[in-house]
Structure 1
């Protein structure tokens, strides 16, 4: 179950038409820059996303 503001990585991957490996690399860079946070559930979810 997702909390408010969280997104499934798989859903994000559907919205952004790039290969999963490329998305993972981008998310890794965003995590290092503390722009997003992730948590492990049965699926990986993004717990913090920059305001748009």
Structure 2
């Protein structure tokens, strides 16, 4: 019984660990997209 509880605890840690990694990666992607859009907007405004 104790081994079963330990296994469930490990699965919960893996699940939340993967979730944190997913949100971190998503944040990086959104930051790159935002930076690219701002850079292109700035270049457009300098040209105009």
* Bin for the TM-score computed over the shorter chain: 0.3 to 0.5
TM-score, normalization: structure 2? 0.33
More strand by proportion, 1 or 2? 1
TM-score, normalization: structure 1? 0.30
* Greater relative CO (CA pairs within 8 A, separation 6+): 1
Which is greater in Rg?
2
